[in-house]
Structure 1
Amino acid sequence: MFSSLNFEEIQDHINMLRLTLSSRCSNQLNTVRWSTQKSSLTSITTFARNLTSATNPDNLPHFPVPKLNDTLQKFLRSVQPLLPAKSYKITENLIKEFGKSNGLGEQLQRLLQNRADTHENWLADWWLIAAYLTWRSPVVVYSNPGLYFPTRQFANADDWLKFSARVTSAALRYKQMVDSNQIPKDKMGKTLLDMGQYKKVFGTCRIPGHNMDSVEFNPGSRHIVVAYRNGFYKVPVYGESSNDILSEVELFEQFQLITANKNKENIPIGMLSSQQRDTLAKAYEELIRSPLNAKSIESINKALFIVCLDKSVPFDKSDEMNVASHQLIHGGGSDQNSANRWFNKTIQFIINENGLNGLNYEHSPAEGQPIAVLSDFINTELLKPSDNKPRVMKQTVQPQKLEFSITQNTQKDILEASKHIDELANNLQVTVLDYKGYGKNFIKSQKMSPDSYLQMAMQYAFYKYYGVAGAHYETGQQRIFIHGRTETIRSCSVESLAFAKAMCDSSVSDSDKVKALRAAVTGHKDYATMAMKGEGIDRHLLGLKMIAKENSLPVPELYSDDGFVKSTHYRISTSQVASVNRLLMSYGPAVDDGYGLCYNPRDDDMLFAITAFKSCPETCSNVMAQHMTEALEAMYSLLLRAGERPISKM
């Protein structure tokens, strides 16, 4: 999701890194503050890992450094579809210069290998900083995804609150399973994947800072926070031990107490969290000058998660998922539910009075798939009978209203944030494509990877719309390595462009179009496999740049070349977040003239959330959705005409 990142001052920011780590010990919540000196970075991150994921119980491999020449040749081939011949020649010469024997490239490669020899994962610290903590755009729209859960029908307010209690109870049970290592370990084939991200999402919060944010972990927290009508309420969720979760009835009673006074006005403090990060850092400092405010914010930061009880917003059945996506990404603006959020929080469950529901998550601790697994668990639990456990508390504990006292400066900050979130919300265009023509079963019947097939459909749709290839990011997970995060799968390729051109050329035979499709799918699948094995391009190039800056060496000219700039300006930013349920993740585009495109391919249907910015006259999510539909249909029809043997669509 993060494409045009500014890495120029990353190394300077490392020297200012502050990771606040909290843990509970013997019922005392202790906050550990770490030195900001450069020499402390390794110990800081090592402590964070030990706190949240133990050491390396599955003996996963360390993250490797790819061979320099392999990366450079892959990079050169990846930019070929995006550059005219003259520009490509310039890039080719730069690659030759950078990779020559005993040159700067080899020097940086040796230094990077030295770093890898002393780190479990040479990339992990840099990636957290580069991709997230120094990213200064708002987390709203630009970073935090929303995840849609199937819409519910509530007969009355009690139904709404009972459902909210069920979601909360299921999430707390899942937290217990994570803590006791009872969740099934993820695998890629027979290969175990790193499970550390699962322990980093509960009790975690991103803390705004000047130039760079920090992350606070509170896995031993014993409370949640409920947001209602822009107010925040602290709710204890355990009895005497962490095994005693409040029953659904008790959680329902807490929500009833919170929603009893519907007419009380609350200061929309949550609006601040939607701001640009440096602007927020200044407003945050002003806010917590007050001990009262600091205490209330501390309760929010340390909560296991937030439950947002949202006011109703209108929607028609035809645009239900579009409206839901807006609510889950940004809350709809200042006159809807945007202030009923704390966007720094890793997990916020969002349940609207009208039945729209899902979650919003802050991206820095985890990728989408662990969040989707949690969401699948919750939605599966919701199908079961209600929890009829006996009460944990002898009497109902009153939820604690978190009080705030604001200065004129904070009032001004809130007004500015309100204006800003309205601009963001109004500028984002979301189109959900609920494609029912066919799904993974059909694609598998053609002996093709469903993910690669859909990525090529996106390339075809983009080319059909614009007549050129589009730089194309797909998230590839690297969790086969300890502390692994992601690698870029560069879906735009020589083969994808050839396929798109063939599909748009009536003179090309069907058999040749099928050959082009299969070549493009195979090429994508091979690249995806390399990326997930640690043999991709982008993380290696980032490492070489970072090691240059760390050692006060010149940043190679390659990084300002047209080939690098155009190939990292991802006009198509995509991610597959798969679920057997009708769940759908959505997020904003990575660049102003691009598209965000997240998808859930199911057996016999597919869901796509397509986003664009209205401020860009060149993009339109509705038009792109139409081109995607036409691409999927054309590819299906092609396979039929070419004498392939597809199963029925449904």
Structure 2
Amino acid sequence: MAEAHQAVAFQFTITPEGIDLQLSYQALNQIYMSGVRSWKKRVSRMRNSLIKGVYPASPSSWLFVVIAILATMYTRSDPSMGLITKIQHHLPLSLHVSLSAQGQTMVSALVFSTLLWLSLILALRFCLKLLLSYHRWMFEQHGRVSNVTKVWVTLVRLLSSRKPLLYSYQTSLPHLPVPAIKDTVSRYLLSVRPLLTDPEFKRMSELANGFELNLGNRLQRYLKLKSLWATNYVSDWWEEYIYLRSRSPIMVNSNYYGMDFLYVTPTSVQAARAGNTITALLLYRRKVNREELKPSRVPGTVIPLCAAQCERMFNTTRTPGDETDVLQHWQDSEFVAVYHKGRFFRLWVYRAGRLLSPRELEYQIQRILDDPSPPQPGEDKLGALTAGDRIPWSQMRKRYFSSGVNKRSLDAIERAAFFITLDDDEQGMKGDDPVGNLDRYAKSLLHGKCYDRWFDKSFSIVIYKNGKSGLNAEHSWADAPTVAHLWEYTLATDAFQLGYTEDGHCKGEVERSLPPPQRLVWDIPSEVQAQVCSSLAVAQALADDVDCHVFPFKEFGKGRIKKLRISPDAFIQISLQLAYYRDRGGFCLTYEASMTRLFREGRTETVRSCSNESSAFVNALENGEAEEQCRGLFRMASERHQNLYRMAMTGAGIDRHLFCLYVVSKYLGVESPFLKEVLSEPWRLSTSQTPVQQMELFDLKNYPDFVSLGGGFGPVADDGYGVSYIIVGEDMINFHVSSKYSCGGTDSHRFGAQISKALQDILNLMSADTKTSSSSKGLTQPQPKKVL
């Protein structure tokens, strides 16, 4: 084992003349440089803690306050109104003895200045928190901004004038408010009205009103108490009960995926693509650690979003338990875990305190690809334990991976910065069957072979044989926008910043003395191998049942939609309602994910996209009503959807409040027929938009082929659809549709065709209104003559 020999810092032998000590200066130098890197990170964290701790003020403002106080004292006035004298009387006796009267006055002035400075910081932070609690701006019509909102924007910009760090706004973000029971119940009844018959709605109304008048108020008191004590009254329970306590496989059911560029693969050299990708990811991690990333904001505004999800992005894993899983996060990791042809490797990415160059990482990855050693017994499909049910994995982990070589190897995977799979397959759009290839590409990223991904890691990178890449992300630690931000940076840095040589290799030089990647050693007993086979069978059945369909919609994009003065998201969501109605002959409970990151530690809220207005439009269109009437109903549905989205973003949603009331009822041991029924309703249409957050990284005018495919997820209901979409540039929308083969009523390809047709039909309907308006204007208004 060459790496073990190179790790030895010194050797000694005993001779007749004494002890002969031989030091390896190279090894000692590497130890020293690694220590320097660690201390630099600690100092950086301390500096950042100070800077963000006083935000929106600056540390240097303390000196300004001190100078101002001392200057006023020099003019023989007392700005403290006697407080400096009182502080002087309460100084320790040792200072009274060692300092002169003037020195005591100076110390007292410094103490007073510091206290005044801290008070000003708290006041500024309180003011910023109040300002960020104002959400009326979101409900104002475009182009009609009130004077109150204009003043508010000016004040927010004034208090945010200093360049913030990634986490600077965290303590200034407001807490998520608890809606009134009455409001939530009325919104819920309104949301289910188009889904229920009159007798069903009457029954549900009676259940809801009974809950509101009796048990609801009791549960609400506990929830308000929690909201006063906890940072966010939803997020910890959401993470635990929706994600970590689930005992079913997280593969397909919870994890989601992200894809590479649609038309372009920067290099066909697998090791080179891996080298640049690893480098880009670690550069992003460095920015997170140093808090150099700009805080995310609501697009087009100065309003910050919570950045708490970034904290567990790297060096994080989900460990299984019998009742609940646990998220484990480590401060740092200097290696990544790599899987190739049934073998696991630990790849060190730092040497002597410096990050390896992309070319060096390519060299190390190539050594793994060229390694001819076979897998150890039971090693090749070990990852299936993370793909199957959670309880068997927990039991195996406690019995067989808690000591010895298995524990050390498992630690190497779980403590790694992230996980990488060097896949033997080729994926992508190109080939004789581009549609089928995209579908297979999506399935590969979603579940792979069910054993060649480590689904417990915060995210796993997949590098295919032809250079195509993608990722699979675990869901409990963060939501898709956080991972999408990371993936956008990675793709852009890989293609446009790091780049490749003409023959497709990474740029830079290679230090040939690098120790080879370390093979992880396992001792897998027959009991574990039997459980691996069992978990693999469960995972394989789940994977085989998933019907994935990915298609780029290129007929038009948000550019055409915005010209109609319609929200692109509302346009797509209503199109999905029309597509589902045509596909299944009715309406269903529809889930659209909305963020609540305007609040501290906010995650998501549900937008119930199937509304009375959207169903009225669909019925009118399908029943052949007059186009003018359909257009009016569509605009009403669009406005309603936008309002629902705004309410969800500002803490006035329905589902998270009802979920938390249900959790409280379980803690109290009381049953609520209303809550039980609400929480058991299936989401047969689950949708999510993958936002493009960093368009400045992609130059689509000069490089139009570098279009992101976005990502997707598995269906939530056995008889439903999962739909993810990404609006790319002005002229394209990429869709990811999933369903289950076992349900005879669903078909992802058929539903994809319905989506395309619905989008086109609605555009034609609304464009006809624009053409009619234009022609009417042409008849009533004189046309200007051409001036030659």
Question: Normalized against structure 2, the TM-score is what?
Answer: 0.71
- Give the drift of 1:290: 5.0
**Alignment equivalent of 1:318, drawn from 435, 440, 443:** 435
Q: 1:643 to 1:55 in 2, by over 3 A?
A: closer
The answer (yes or no) to whether the contact 2:435–2:550 under 8 Å persists in 1 is no
Any gaps of 5 or more consecutive residues in structure 2? 1-36, 43-164, 501-505, 696-706, 775-788
Which letter does structure 2 place at the counterpart of 1:328? L
1:97 counterpart = 2:210:
yes
**Alignment equivalent of 1:195, drawn from 270, 293, 307:** 307
**Alignment equivalent of 2:564, drawn from 418, 422, 446:** 446
Q: Which residue of 2 aligns with 1:227?
A: 339
Percent sequence identity over matched residues? 29
Q: Which residue of 1 aligns with 2:751?
A: 624
Q: Which residue of 1 aligns with 2:286?
A: 176
Partner Cα separation in structure 2 for residue 122 and residue 455 of structure 1? 29
- Give the drift of 1:422: 2.2
The answer (yes or no) to whether the contact 1:135–1:212 under 8 Å persists in 2 is yes
The answer (yes or no) to whether the contact 1:614–1:620 under 8 Å persists in 2 is yes
Tell me the secondary structure at the aligned position of residue 355 of structure 2.
coil
1:217-249 Cα offsets, whole Å, 9 max, x none, are 0231111111111211111112333xx211011
Q: Which residue of 2 aligns with 1:584?
A: 710
Please identify, of 168-177 and 312-321, the stretch whose mean Cα deviation from structure 2 is larger: 312-321
Tell me the secondary structure at the aligned position of residue 62 of structure 1.
coil
Which letter does structure 1 place at the counterpart of 2:297? K
Q: 1:245 to 1:472 in 2, by over 3 A?
A: same
1:150 counterpart = 2:268:
no
Which letter does structure 1 place at the counterpart of 2:601? H
The answer (yes or no) to whether the contact 1:290–1:405 under 8 Å persists in 2 is no
The answer (yes or no) to whether the contact 1:147–1:585 under 8 Å persists in 2 is yes
**Alignment equivalent of 1:479, drawn from 574, 577, 597:** 597
Partner Cα separation in structure 1 for residue 399 and residue 41 of structure 2? 28
Partner Cα separation in structure 2 for residue 197 and residue 358 of structure 1? 21
- Give the drift of 1:73: 0.4
Which letter does structure 2 place at the counterpart of 1:130? Y
The answer (yes or no) to whether the contact 2:267–2:273 under 8 Å persists in 1 is no
Q: Which residue of 2 aligns with 1:637?
A: 764
Q: Which residue of 1 aligns with 2:369?
A: 259
The answer (yes or no) to whether the contact 1:253–1:396 under 8 Å persists in 2 is no
Q: Which residue of 2 aligns with 1:124?
A: 235
Partner Cα separation in structure 2 for residue 608 and residue 394 of structure 1? 45
1:83 counterpart = 2:209:
no
Tell me the secondary structure at the aligned position of residue 233 of structure 2.
coil
Q: Which residue of 1 aligns with 2:447?
A: 330
Partner Cα separation in structure 2 for residue 77 and residue 538 of structure 1? 13
The higher radius of gyration belongs to 2
Q: Which residue of 2 aligns with 1:291?
A: 404
1:227-281 Cα offsets, whole Å, 9 max, x none, are 111211111112333xx21101110111011111246235221121110122322
Q: 1:611 to 1:373 in 2, by over 3 A?
A: same
- Give the drift of 1:460: 0.8
1:209 counterpart = 2:328:
no
Partner Cα separation in structure 2 for residue 263 and residue 512 of structure 1? 70
Q: Which residue of 2 aligns with 1:7?
A: none
Partner Cα separation in structure 1 for residue 474 and residue 369 of structure 2? 26
Partner Cα separation in structure 1 for residue 330 and residue 167 of structure 2? 15
The answer (yes or no) to whether the contact 2:309–2:482 under 8 Å persists in 1 is yes
- Give the drift of 1:645: 8.1
**Alignment equivalent of 2:674, drawn from 525, 534, 558:** 558
The answer (yes or no) to whether the contact 1:226–1:232 under 8 Å persists in 2 is yes
Tell me the secondary structure at the aligned position of residue 343 of structure 1.
coil
The answer (yes or no) to whether the contact 1:446–1:645 under 8 Å persists in 2 is no
**1:240-639 matched pairs, under 5 angstroms:** 240-241=352-353, 244-262=354-372, 264-266=374-376, 267=379, 268-313=381-426, 316-331=433-448, 333=449, 338-384=450-496, 385-386=499-500, 388=507, 395-506=513-624, 508-550=625-667, 552-561=668-677, 564=678, 568-579=681-692, 581-602=707-728, 603-639=730-766
**1:108-119 matched pairs, under 5 angstroms:** 108-119=219-230
Which letter does structure 1 place at the counterpart of 2:638? V
Partner Cα separation in structure 1 for residue 328 and residue 679 of structure 2? 34
Q: 1:645 to 1:169 in 2, by over 3 A?
A: farther
Please identify, of 77-86 and 287-296, the stretch whose mean Cα deviation from structure 2 is larger: 287-296
Partner Cα separation in structure 1 for residue 177 and residue 751 of structure 2? 38
1:609-649 Cα offsets, whole Å, 9 max, x none, are 000000011111011011101101101111122345899xx
Tell me the secondary structure at the aligned position of residue 358 of structure 1.
strand
Tell me the secondary structure at the aligned position of residue 270 of structure 2.
helix
Which letter does structure 1 place at the counterpart of 2:235? A
Please identify, of 144-153 and 538-547, the stretch whose mean Cα deviation from structure 2 is larger: 144-153
Partner Cα separation in structure 1 for residue 773 and residue 288 of structure 2? 41
- Give the drift of 1:286: 3.7
- Give the drift of 1:394: 8.0
1:474-497 Cα offsets, whole Å, 9 max, x none, are 111111111111111111111111
Any gaps of 5 or more consecutive residues in structure 1? 1-23, 30-51
Please identify, of 165-174 and 186-195, the stretch whose mean Cα deviation from structure 2 is larger: 186-195
Which letter does structure 2 place at the counterpart of 1:249? R
Which letter does structure 2 place at the counterpart of 1:172? L
Tell me the secondary structure at the aligned position of residue 723 of structure 2.
strand
Partner Cα separation in structure 2 for residue 354 and residue 283 of structure 1? 36
The answer (yes or no) to whether the contact 1:448–1:521 under 8 Å persists in 2 is yes
1:138-196 Cα offsets, whole Å, 9 max, x none, are 1111111011112655886xx21111100110011011011111112111132100111
Length, aligned pairs only? 585
The answer (yes or no) to whether the contact 2:438–2:551 under 8 Å persists in 1 is no
Partner Cα separation in structure 1 for residue 556 and residue 208 of structure 2? 43
Which letter does structure 2 place at the counterpart of 1:252? E
1:429-470 Cα offsets, whole Å, 9 max, x none, are 011121101111111111111111111111110011122111
- Give the drift of 1:591: 0.9
The answer (yes or no) to whether the contact 1:465–1:624 under 8 Å persists in 2 is yes
Which letter does structure 2 place at the counterpart of 1:170? A
Partner Cα separation in structure 1 for residue 582 and residue 568 of structure 2? 21
Aligned-residue CA RMSD in angstroms?
Answer: 2.4
Please identify, of 278-287 and 138-147, the stretch whose mean Cα deviation from structure 2 is larger: 278-287
Partner Cα separation in structure 2 for residue 66 and residue 318 of structure 1? 46
Tell me the secondary structure at the aligned position of residue 94 of structure 1.
helix
Which letter does structure 2 place at the counterpart of 1:557? P
Partner Cα separation in structure 1 for residue 283 and residue 402 of structure 2? 36
Question: Normalized against structure 1, the TM-score is what?
Answer: 0.86
- Give the drift of 1:559: 1.7
Tell me the secondary structure at the aligned position of residue 574 of structure 1.
strand
- Give the drift of 1:346: 0.9
Which letter does structure 2 place at the counterpart of 1:165? G
- Give the drift of 1:397: 2.1
Q: Which residue of 2 aligns with 1:218?
A: 330
Partner Cα separation in structure 1 for residue 685 and residue 675 of structure 2? 21
Partner Cα separation in structure 1 for residue 394 and residue 41 of structure 2? 28
The answer (yes or no) to whether the contact 2:167–2:291 under 8 Å persists in 1 is no
The answer (yes or no) to whether the contact 1:53–1:199 under 8 Å persists in 2 is no
